[in-house]
Chains A and B, each alone.
Chain A
Amino acid sequence: ILLLHTCVKCVSLPEKVKIVEVGPRDGLQNEKTMVPTETKINLIDMLSASGLPVIEATSFVSPKWVPQMADQVEVMKGIDRKPGVSYPVLTPNLKGFQAAIKAGASEVAIFGAASELFSKKNINCSVDESLQRFDEVMKAAKEFGVPVRGYVSCVLGCPYEGKVAPEKVAHVAKRLYSMGCYEISLGDTIGVGTPGSMSKMLEAVSREVPVNALAVHCHDTYGQALANILVALQMGISVVDSSVAGLGGCPYAQGASGNVATEDVVYMLHGLGIQTGVDLSKLMDAGAFICRTLNRKTNSKVAQATCKL
C-alpha cells in the first residue's frame, strides 16, 4: 500500500473555553477540615480576581447533611461579586432554592445521577423521582428568571453499579435539558473514565443535547482527567469544570484525589492556544492561599512545579 503522506488529523479545538470553578463548593465540600466563613469568602474573592467567569460559591443543602456548607447565606452575602462573573449555587430542592434567592443567588444548579443505585444511596430516591423533585425548582427558577445548570453524576462509572450505559447518561442529560437547564455538566464522579469511555459517552449524549450546552466535570482519581478533557474538547465541548488546587478528595477511594486542578487545566488550555480569560499566576495565588489555610499540599502539579523552580 502506498502511504501518501503522514496524515496528521486536523483536530479543530474551540478557540475559547469557559472554566467553571467548583473549588469553593465541590472542592471544600469534600475537604475534612471545616473552613471558616471568612476564608471561604477570601478564596472566592481571590478567584474572582483571577478572571474565572463562573465560580460555584456554595450549596443550599441542609447543614445536617453537609456541615461544610452551613454558612451558605453568609458566604453568599459576604462575597465581592465581580461584574460579568456568575456565582451559581446548588439547590437540591425548592426550600434550598427559596433560601438561595433570599440570600441573593442569581443562578442555581441541580443534580441528577446516571446510576439508579447511586441516586438511591446518595439522595434516597430513584433517578426519575429526583428529576420530579427538581420540577418544582425549575418552575420557581423560571418565575424568577434564574438560569439553572444541570449536573449528571456517574457518567463514566458508578461506585456501586460499575459500568454505566452511555444511553442512560444521554437519557438523564436530555431530561434535564428539556426541563430547562441551560447547560448540562457531565461528571465522571469517581474518575474511572478514559478517553475511550469519554468519547463513547459524549457521542451518545451529543445526539440528544446540543454540544454547546454540554460541559465536562472530570475527576482525576485515576490520573485521566486532562486526557479526558482533551478528548471532550476535540468533540466540541467548550465548558470545563475544575477546582483550584484540585480541592476535594474522592469519597469512594480514601486518600485519592478528586476534582481536576484548575491550574493544570488552564496550563494545558493555554498551551493549546485556547483562551480562558484566566490569569494563571493569580489563580495559583488563590490555590496557595487555600492550601495554606487548610494546611494541606496542593493537588495541582503545575502549582507544585512552579513554586519550586
Chain B
Amino acid sequence: MGNVPTTVKHCLSYEQLIQDYPWLKRWLLEEKTNTGHEFPEFVKIVEVGPRDGLQNETEIVPTGVKIQLIDMLSGTGLPVIEATSFVSSKWVPQMADHTDVLRGIQRAPHVRYPVLTPNMQGFQDAVAAGATEVAVFGSASETFSKKNINCSIDESMLRFKEVINTAKERQIPVRGYVSCALGCPHEGYIEPSKVSEVAKSLYELGCYEISLGDTIGVGTPGSMFKMLQSVMKEVPTNALAVHCHDTYGQALPNILTALQMGVCVVDSAVAGLGGCPYAQGSSGNVSTEDVLYMLHGMGIETGVNLAKVIEAGDFICNALHRETNSKVAKARGRTLGCVSVRENI
C-alpha cells in the first residue's frame, strides 16, 4: 500500500493529483528529494542460501551445519528462508537430508521456510516433513527444461499443476520460479515474451509469487528492463521477484533496475553461496549482504540486520572452508582501524 501513491504520482500532474486526492499532499511533502526515480519503501528479501546456495557448493554440508545456518539466518530478521529441496537425492545429493533439515530447524515466528517440490512425490514428502510453503521451477528455455528436468516446458507445467492443485487443497502457498529469464546456457538469448508466457502460466496455475531468475547471470539493466516490461503486462508487479546471479557482476544494477520498475521482492544468498554450474569457478547467487548494503543505503527497509547476516555468512564459509563471495563481508572483515562508515549497519 505504501508504494501506491508514488506510482500514481507519476501518472498524473501535480495539480490534478492534489485536486483529486487531497490527502496525498502530506505524502508528497514528506517525500525525500531523490533522483526522481521512485523506489519501494520496503523490499522483501528471500534468502536462498541454504537451498540454492548449498545445492551448488561442491562440498557436502553436514545436516547439523545446515540446521545451524538456517537457525542463524532466522535470527537476522529475514522474512523468508528457503530451507531445502525435496528432490531425489540421486540428482541432488546435497539435499538428501531434506526431511532432517526441515524437522531440525527452529522455526522463528513470522519467518517462512519454503521448500522446493519438483513433483508430487516431493510435495508429499515435504508435507509429511512439516512444510508449510513450497516452490516449483519452470524454465523460459525449452532446451534448459529438457536438459535440467528431462521434459518440455509444457510437460513441466502439467506436473506443477498437480502439485499446485494439491497444495491449494491443503492451503499451502506455492511460489513459482522461472529460470533462464535473461539468457540460457544452451539457447543463448531468450525472448522476453517467452518469459512472460511461462510466468503467466505459473501465476494462473496459482503461484502467489513468480521469481524471475537470471540463471547464468548474463543479464544487464538493458535486458532486465525489456524482460520485466514484458512480464509486467501479464503478471501484477507486486507478485514478481527477481533472482539475479552475479556471474558477470551485473546483479546489483539489475536489481536496482527491477526496483525502479516497482518490483519489491529480491532473492539472494548469504555470502553469495553457490557457484555457477555453467561457468566453472565463477560466482552464482548475488550475496544477501551486498544487496542489504545497497538497499539500506537507499533508505529502503528490509527488516534485516546486516551484521547478523554477515555472522551467518562467516559461519557457513568457515564450515565450507571457503572465502565469502560478499564484498561487504570481505571489506567489513578487513577494514583497518579507521572509522567505519556506519550509515548502512
In contact, A3 and B4 (Cβ under 8 angstroms):
yes
Given A223-B293, A254-B336: A267 and B278 interface contact (C-beta under 8 Å): no
Which listed segment binds A: B45-53, B142-150, B221-229?
A: B221-229
In contact, B220 and A192 (Cβ under 8 angstroms):
no
In contact, B327 and A221 (Cβ under 8 angstroms):
yes
Contacts of A66 in B (CB 8 A): none
Is A235 at the interface (CB under 8 A from chain B)? Answer: yes
Contacts of A83 in B (CB 8 A): none
In contact, A273 and B222 (Cβ under 8 angstroms):
yes
In contact, A308 and B297 (Cβ under 8 angstroms):
no
Q: Which residue of B lies closest to A264 (CB)?
A: B249
| Cβ contacts B115-135/A at 8 Å (1 or 0 each) | 000000000000000000000
CB distance from A17 to the nearest CB of B (A): 13
Max chain A Cβ within 10 angstroms of own Cβ: one of B12, B255, B261: B261
Q: Which residue of A lies closest to B335 (CB)?
A: A253
User: Bound state CA distance, A158 and B327, in angstroms?
Assistant: 18
Contacts of A5 in B (CB 8 A): 11
Given A5-B11, A194-B344: A160 and B339 interface contact (C-beta under 8 Å): yes
Is A14 at the interface (CB under 8 A from chain B)? Answer: no
Given A194-B294, A194-B344, A226-B252: A256 and B338 interface contact (C-beta under 8 Å): no
Given A4-B8, A7-B10, A8-B229: A223 and B217 interface contact (C-beta under 8 Å): no
Is B313 at the interface (CB under 8 A from chain A)? Answer: no
Contacts of B321 in A (CB 8 A): none
Partner of A224, one of B37, B222, B293: B293
Q: Which residue of B lies closest to A220 (CB)?
A: B327
Which listed segment binds B: A25-33, A91-99, A283-291, A298-306?
A: A298-306
In contact, A235 and B35 (Cβ under 8 angstroms):
yes
Is A268 at the interface (CB under 8 A from chain B)? Answer: yes
User: Bound state CA distance, A159 and B341, in angstroms?
Assistant: 8
Partner of A253, one of B10, B246, B283, B331: B331
Question: How many residues of chain A get a CB closer than 8 Å to chain B's CBs?
Answer: 62
Max chain A Cβ within 10 angstroms of own Cβ: one of B221, B334, B339: B221
User: Bound state CA distance, A300 and B255, in angstroms?
Assistant: 19
Contacts of B67 in A (CB 8 A): none
Given A195-B297, A301-B246, A305-B247: A234 and B330 interface contact (C-beta under 8 Å): no
Is B38 at the interface (CB under 8 A from chain A)? Answer: yes
User: Bound state CA distance, A179 and B304, in angstroms?
Assistant: 46
Is B262 at the interface (CB under 8 A from chain A)? Answer: yes
| Cβ contacts B274-298/A at 8 Å (1 or 0 each) | 0010111111000100100110111
Contacts of B36 in A (CB 8 A): 9
User: Bound state CA distance, A188 and B255, in angstroms?
Assistant: 21
User: Bound state CA distance, A191 and B340, in angstroms?
Assistant: 12
Q: Which residue of B lies closest to A195 (CB)?
A: B298
In contact, A4 and B11 (Cβ under 8 angstroms):
yes
In contact, B297 and A268 (Cβ under 8 angstroms):
no
Partner of B256, one of A7, A230, A235: A230
In contact, B232 and A230 (Cβ under 8 angstroms):
no
Is B208 at the interface (CB under 8 A from chain A)? Answer: no
Is A84 at the interface (CB under 8 A from chain B)? Answer: no
Is A203 at the interface (CB under 8 A from chain B)? Answer: yes
5 contacts between A and B (CB under 8 A): A3-B8, A6-B232, A8-B229, A222-B327, A223-B326
Hey, which bits of chain A sit against chain B, CB under 8 A?
1, 3-9, 11, 157-163, 190-197, 199-200, 203, 220-224, 226-227, 229-231, 234-235, 250, 252-257, 261, 264, 267-268, 270-273, 300-302, 304-306, 308-309
* In the complex, the 10 A-B pairs of residues with the closest C-beta atoms, listed nearest first: A271-B220, A194-B297, A223-B327, A301-B249, A196-B298, A264-B249, A223-B290, A159-B338, A272-B222, A227-B252
Beyond A221-B331, A268-B249, 11 extra complex contacts between A and B, CB < 8 Å: A1-B8, A1-B21, A4-B8, A6-B262, A162-B339, A224-B297, A267-B250, A271-B220, A301-B247, A306-B279, A308-B282
